[in-house]
Chain A
Amino acid sequence: MTPALAGVLSVLCVVVILVVIHVPLGSWIHRVFTSEHHTRAERAVYRLVGVDPDGEQRWTTYAVSVLAFSGASILLLFGFLLGQGFLPWSQGRSMNVDTALNTAVSFVTNTNWQSYAGEAGTGYLVQAAGLTVQNFLSAAVGLAVAIAVVRALARQDSDRIGNFWVDVTRGTLRILLPLAVLAAVALVAGGVVQNLIEPTTITTIGGGQQVLQGGLVASQESIKELGTNGGGFFNANSAHPFENPNGWTNLLEVVLLLAISSALPYTYGLMVKDRRQGFALAGAMGVLMVGAMALLTWSEVAGGSLEGKEQRFGTAWSAIFASATTGTSTGAVSAMHESLQPLSGGVALLNMMLGELSPGGVGTGLYSMLVMVVLTVFIAGLMVGRTPELLGKTIGRREVTLVSLALLITPTLVLVGTGIALVNPVSLDAMSTAGPHGLSEMLYAFTSAANNNGSAFAGLSADQPFLNLALATCMLLGRFVPIVAVLAFAGGVARQGRRPATAGTMPTSTASFAGFLVVIILIVAGLTYFPSLALGSIAEALS
């Protein structure tokens, strides 16, 4: 089989699998969040936590719950990372204070940027009981926020948008945990390690020395992909043979990291009782995802370089993984992104710059896409002179203001952050190279942090106090400003009634609307980021 044919087949294979699973998975997620029934395990959790599962919250309380929970998570994980030396199974590993703070923020915001190397910074216990836990919970928080926003759009004349504790508990126990168990067992069957064996120095076949690592890898790997987290057990992440040993595990990991985000538009359609609304979003996400994946795969297969790639995956699957991981805010890597072709590196950057919505992170992808839908409705309304409406909800000044806030915070963080880092001698020292590629290295770091992706041009020596704190700030604001904004938006639309659709209503479920949505997404990202891409990846590709 020629590499080109294999590349086409590979992209098709991923798309077909997603098309097949998104309906059952999306329906299941819909059932989970609309069910009136609490399971016995969930009732036990609510009793232990001390919350009333049947009392719904206003958007303000919902937002306070998200912020309080995430704040408590950061503090606890920060303490855990600093104190791991006092606990068993730390393997003598430790972190600096600024590295630990960066890591705690990173895992709680679903970014999973890693300025430490897994083999050196984190022992087995903190990986399992600290990082794995946040892999679940940060994904569940994103999912909860998305569901609350959709619920608000589906409601009218209500001042409540749901109960955060119920949403986060159900997302964890009924969706993430069962899928993660199945995926972890499948990964072990494929060769991913899962043990508590201490790192051991052995004499190799040729008489040399090598350290064999152990760890609870499979249980972390499955939720790392499924929850669009991306923090590797090892420094080489999903390129490490113990995390991703062969073509089968690689396919499973790619599907896992795309699965939930691809299914959520279908859930959205079911919740607003108009499945075509969901298909329009899925179509827009699909066009962006397949476009980026095809471009990146073509670029790598044509380039042919295996630098920073694993032989067992080859160019096409390294490219597909790179596209999937940057389009979903996952940030796991099966090839070193800094060694991608200049054009491919630019596509990976652009995938993140679109705002992580093709199809984006678990939950975050859906609400980021809804932000763009509101903006598109507003712009289209201005163009044709109609009152902008979405699902019978008027898009007024409050809605547009909140959506703009959610939309503008990430580019602000990326561009201002990169700018400051490029004039600061301390962070300039961290760069592995100069010129356009050096610019891309720094731009990639801030884009990855502010969009909560977590992948890196890993030549950057990011483990220094300035970059650790600057990137942690980007991760925090890039996560929670949009969350508060979309929850405030949800509170407003839930209170509204629903205008009946008339002949003058612009439909938001047609192919032409989906096409216009894609155009708006590309224009917004293009206008914002074209200059920085031109000076970095584009300049490098043309030189």
Chain B
Amino acid sequence: MVWRQLLASLRFLVVMTVLLGLAYPAAVTLAAQAFGSRAAGSLLTDADGRVVGSALLGQAFGPEWFQGRPSASAYSGETSGGTNLSPASSDQADARAQRKADLVAANPEAIGPVPEDALTASASGLDPHISVAYALWQVPRVARERGVDAGALRNLVAAATEPAPLDFLGQDSVNVTRLNFSLAGGVQR
């Protein structure tokens, strides 16, 4: 009885591997072509046609750009994940204090408290988003570093703001990658 069932199992696995492991992903991949660039990762290309990132993934940026949230993987793309620190731990309190001190030093002209999302590392390490408050908090620094008008930057922030679907499926967020892409003169299609 056992041998007969084992033989049936092996045959069943072969049939199902062809169907579920090859035909099904292939069919979804074909259907995915209908959605254009999304299946490929919502890539952003510069004027020369070079891929400079994905609109879905955060990147590491210097002070002359808007910056994303702290990342446990430094936005490498080869790994993903968080710090796994407990919010009740002293390690987390130390990390928050350090991040806060660094941000305040780098943004002497910023107004108001440092927003929560600026002090905490994301779950994926590739979070492309920050809060609207954190984006506006960075405007004076970016304006100074680039020598541009703060008002123009605030308009760019508004354009890169993605509202929460239906107002409650998540929260309003600014896509830093898209924001910096338009700052660099990129045009999104």
Contacts and interface: CB of A to CB of B under 8 A. Distances in A.
A240 B57 CA distance: 9
B137 interface: no
B86 A342 contact: yes
A72 B6 contact: yes
Counting contact residues on chain B (CB < 8 A from A), the size range is: 35 or more
Interface in A96-143: 117, 119-120, 128-130, 132-133, 136-137
B83 interface: yes
Contact of B123 (A13, A185, A208, A239): A239
B151 interface: no
Interface string A211-240: 111101011100000000000001110011
A93 to B, nearest CB: 11
Interface stretch (A244-252, A268-276, A490-498, A522-530): A244-252
Interface stretch (B102-110, B126-134, B140-148): B126-134
Contact of A308 (B22, B50, B82, B129): B82
A398 interface: no
A248 B41 CA distance: 17
B79 interface: yes
B25 A219 contact: yes
Interface in B92-118: 92, 116-117
Counting contact residues on chain A (CB < 8 A from B), the size range is: 35 or more
A61 interface: yes
Contacts of A185: 28, 31-32
A283 interface: no
A334 interface: yes
Contact of A218 (B15, B32, B88): B32
A234 to B, nearest CB: 5
B54 A248 contact: no
A73 B20 CA distance: 14
A14 B78 CA distance: 34
Nearest to A191: B38
Contacts of A132: 20-21, 24-25
A69 interface: yes
A339 to B, nearest CB: 6
Nearest to B86: A437
B92 A311 contact: no
Contacts of B116: 304-306
Interface string B19-49: 1111011011101100100111111100000
A317 B167 CA distance: 13
A248 B169 contact: yes
Interface in A426-464: 432-433, 437, 457-459
A309 B84 CA distance: 10
A313 interface: yes
A543 B6 CA distance: 54
B182 to A, nearest CB: 10
B83 A210 contact: no
Contact of A339 (B8, B60, B87, B180): B87
A27 to B, nearest CB: 25
Given A65-B5, A310-B123, A204 B53 contact: yes
A336 B43 CA distance: 26
A188 B27 CA distance: 13
Contacts of A540: 86, 88
Nearest to B163: A247
Interface in A169-203: 172, 177, 180-181, 184-185, 188-197, 199-200, 202-203
Q: Most A CB atoms within 10 A — which of B2, B56, B91, B116?
A: B56
Contact of B127 (A71, A129, A241): A241
Nearest to B14: A48
Q: Most A CB atoms within 10 A — which of B19, B50, B162, B184?
A: B19
A51 interface: yes
A48 B15 CA distance: 8
Contacts of B35: 188-189
Given A68-B9, A194-B28, A9 B21 contact: no
A82 to B, nearest CB: 16
A313 B92 CA distance: 21
B121 A307 contact: yes
A51 B15 CA distance: 13
B88 A210 contact: no
Given A189-B35, A208-B59, A459-B84, A307 B8 contact: no
8 contacts: A72-B6, A76-B13, A192-B38, A208-B75, A242-B57, A303-B87, A308-B83, A314-B170
